[in-house]
Amino acid sequence: MHCDPRFSRVREVFERNFADGEELGAAFAVYLNGEPVVDLWDGVADRHTGRAWERDTPAFAYSCTKALTAAVLLRLVEQGLVDVRAPVAAYWPEFAAGGKEAVTVEHLLSHQAGLPVVAEPVPVEEFEDQPAIAARLAGQEPLWEPGSAHGYHALTYGFLVGEVIRRVTGKSVGELVAAEIAGPLDLELWVGAPEEVIARTARLKARERPDVTETPAGERTSAADNPAGERPGAAETPAGERPGTTGAPSGAGTGATEGQAGGRPDDVLARMVQAALDPHSLMNRALGNPGMHLLKGGANNPVILRAGWPAAGVVTTARGLAGFYRALISGDLLRQETLTEALRPRVNGPDRVLLLDTSFGLGFMRPSLTFPTPSPTAFGHSGMGGSIGWGDPGRGLAIGYVMNRMADAVSGNLRALRLVQSVYDSL
């Protein structure tokens, strides 16, 4: 392990997370102006076997994948192969069905397409057939007028953007990440992990006692995507808890209409709890289909780890994730003007799926209630349960955090946020 003396505070916070029983296994890495200053790991990668978390132990990092998928698409923009302002149907003609002929690539990247849900349940047989899932979305009508609102496309983001990439290049996101990002930069990350990587990947563990105030935003979820694969059910939380067992605050039955965000924080939280407990809510449908819970072990199942879903499929070390952001802010992956334009917020405000305020550029999270940051120049993407990838060109920072004890949260958790804050406090 390595920790520059200037960042001793970071190591203290990392160790305290373990001492307080908040971690099972985890890793945290930081680059400052391109130089490694923090590379920490500790704990257990597999609680069943006692396998230790090693320097090269990767973990499944859910939606941290979305930033990688955005980078792949933006590289095609730089090559003149894709115009984000162009209709998706220009690259994927079948997508025009259902009144979607005016939906642009920019709408896909910024969660404005109105397609946060796959309408019909995706069978397990299609989990490794991304074009088949994309074809389902191509035939659907949007749930709102594209461009008029935004809502987190938790899983569909990847199948949509990934299909545009496939139509243009003939290759999957995972293939391009390997050939153009992870391979040339020698990064430990895979969107679709090979068997030898799957064998040493940390096993996710559901949180025993979900806490509805896990993030500063108080967010929680009952997505069907139960990472530990324990007690699967359409309305379970990531921790595998049945509805009504999570200590949700009273007053959930406010009568509020789904998709109406904003207002007083307690009203928003009540609507979130109401949506989380409803298996038919837009939140749960967006998070739970395709349903990882249908497989034994959930996200630990090799089918998920090798499928390489472009919205939730990356297997990475903290060092690999931080290295990706180091390459972004240094100009090694994208031209600076491309990144600057990609970070310009396209949407900011109430999210029709998550209900809280979110802010997105082209595939990247920007500062908001669901991506709280000490710096206005920070960007990145968090993953279900707590993982996070982070870049800050204004401060020269690139950060990666992965773990295997899941928090009961869609975006972010206090462990990660304490670590990130300790980095900024050390500057």
Given a contact cutoff of 8 angstroms between Cβ atoms, the answer to whether 56 and 313 are in contact is no
Joined together, the tokens standing for residue 398 give 């690139």
Of the candidates 381, 359, 284, the residue with the CA atom closest to the CA atom of residue 111:
359
> Does pLDDT of 245 surpass 50?
no
C-alpha–C-alpha distance, residues 119 and 289, integer Å: 9
- 219-233: average pLDDT: 36
With respect to residue 222, please indicate whether it lies within any of the assigned structural domains. no
Dist CA 161 CA 362 (whole Å): 11
DSSP 344-359: S-SEEEE-TTT-SEEE
pLDDT value, residue 276: 84
Q: Order the strands of the 189-191 sheet from edge to edge.
A: 59-60, 314-316, 189-191
The reply to whether 174 falls in a domain is: yes
The pLDDT, as a whole number, for residue 275 is: 86
Instruction: Band the pLDDT of 162: cuts 50, 70, 90.
Output: very high
Q: Quick check: 244 pLDDT over 60?
A: no
Per-residue pLDDT for 223 more than 60? no
CATH assignment of the domain containing 386: 3.40.710.10
| Residue 367 placed within a domain | yes
Whole-number Å distance between alpha carbons of 257 and 271: 8
Q: Is 310 a residue whose pLDDT tops 90?
A: yes
pLDDT tens per residue, range 106-129? 999 999 999 999 999 999 999 999
User: What was the pLDDT predicted at 146?
Assistant: 97
Please report whether residue 127 resides in a domain.
yes
In a domain, 146, yes or no: yes
Task: Examine residue 202 and state whether it is found in any structural domain, yes or no.
Answer: yes
294 within domain boundaries: no
Q: Which pLDDT belongs to residue 132? A: 98
Helix (H, G, I), strand (E, B) or coil at 45: strand
Report the helix count and the strand count for the chain, using DSSP H and E: 14, 12
CA atoms within a 13 Å half-sphere pointing along the CA-CB vector of 158: 31
Distance (Å, rounded) from C-alpha 234 to C-alpha 243?
10
Residue 258 lies in a domain: no
Domain total in the chain: 1
Spell out the residues 6+ positions from residue 19 whose beta carbon is closer than 8 angstroms to its own.
none
pLDDT band at 238 (very low <50, low <70, confident <90, very high): very low
**Which domain range does residue 199 map to?**
1-211+306-427
Q: What is the pLDDT of residue 269?
A: 77
